[in-house]
Homo-oligomer: A and B are copies of this chain.
Amino acid sequence: MEINDKLTYEEAMQRLKEIVGELERKEVKIDVLSSTVSEAKSLVEFCREKLDSTEDDIKKIIDPEAEGQT
């Protein structure tokens, strides 16, 4: 899955869940295992950043005065 600006958190999470499912069901070939894990890792990073930025946004919205502090 390509990670670009159009990717949403939901889509990323959906893909992540799929990967976990495939792993659980042992549907991933050993030959592509590391690349799959690599993709998952990228998605996780993407989600994490998305969450962090959302949290920042929310803090700014809720408490605009505290913007400079955190």
Q: Which residues of A contact B (CB under 8 A)?
A: 8-10, 13, 29-31, 33-34, 37-38, 41, 47, 50-51, 53-54, 57-58, 61-62
Q: How many monomers of this protein are in the complex?
A: 6
Docked complex Cα distance between A34 and B41 (Å): 24
List, in ascending order, chain B residues with CB within 8 A of A51's CB: 30
10 tightest A-B contacts by CB?
A34-B57, A9-B30, A8-B31, A9-B31, A37-B58, A41-B61, A38-B61, A34-B54, A37-B61, A33-B54
Docked complex Cα distance between A29 and B47 (Å): 12
CB distance from A58 to the nearest CB of B (A): 5
CB distance from A25 to the nearest CB of B (A): 16
